[in-house]
Amino acid sequence: MKFKIKKGNHFSCLNLDKLWPISKQRIHKKIKFMSTCWYPKNIVIHSGWNKLYGISGLNIHGKSARFVWQPDFKNKNYICIAAYIYGYDEINEQHRWYVKEMIKVKVEETFEITIVKMNNGWQFRAKDNPYNWVHVYFESKTPWMTFKAYPFFGGRDKAYHTMEIEIVDS
């Protein structure tokens, strides 16, 4: 399934996958970034991580686990992939996000991701070649009902040009 984010937008376009937003407790996907996803640093206004795919509760800013991406600005046509959670910090009484870079992938090449909702947190796995699985675990409260979290460009910036990402079940 191709997800297209048009120039000037945050959200990816509607497609068949979005017609059923309920998610399982575990997702495993094969991903391929098209070459349109790489962009140079000199056009970036506000740096940040773009959302790739993941699992969320009803409030995506309350409890969610997603893979995120941004170009590897030092290596043209490579993308940095990271694990990302957004949750509520009860001690400081505020929403917080945490990110941990995991792998770098070349555009137009397929790689795999997995997110598993655990009792007390989220397990992330990413594989950039047949022999290299990278694991990250974040302890965090998780939602009882889960939904798919789709590709989204930016935090504050909107897509600099139209981009496509291919995401299929694995």
Give the chain's domains with CATH numbers.
2-169 (2.60.120)
Residue 73: C-alpha distances to residues 8, 38, 69, 79, 120 (Å): 21, 9, 12, 8, 35
Rounded CA separation 45/47 (Å): 6
Read off the pLDDT of each residue in 70-79 and give the average, rounded to a whole number: 97
- In sign, the C-alpha dihedral spanning 109, 26, 148, 89 is negative
Give residue 96's pLDDT band: very low, low, confident or very high (50, 70, 90): confident
DSSP 3-state of 149: strand
Give residue 32's pLDDT band: very low, low, confident or very high (50, 70, 90): very high
Contact indicator for 74, 106 with CB cutoff of 8 Å: no
Closest to 157 measured CA to CA, from 48, 83, 60, 54: 48
DSSP 3-state of 17: helix
SS (H, E, C) 29-76: EEEEECHHHCCCHHHCCCCCCEEEEEEECCCCCCEEEEEEEEECCCCC
Above 70 in pLDDT, residue 117? yes
- For 36-60, the pLDDT digits (tens) are 999 999 999 888 899 999 999 887 7
Rounded CA separation 122/136 (Å): 8
Above 80 in pLDDT, residue 5? yes
Give this prediction's pTM.
0.92
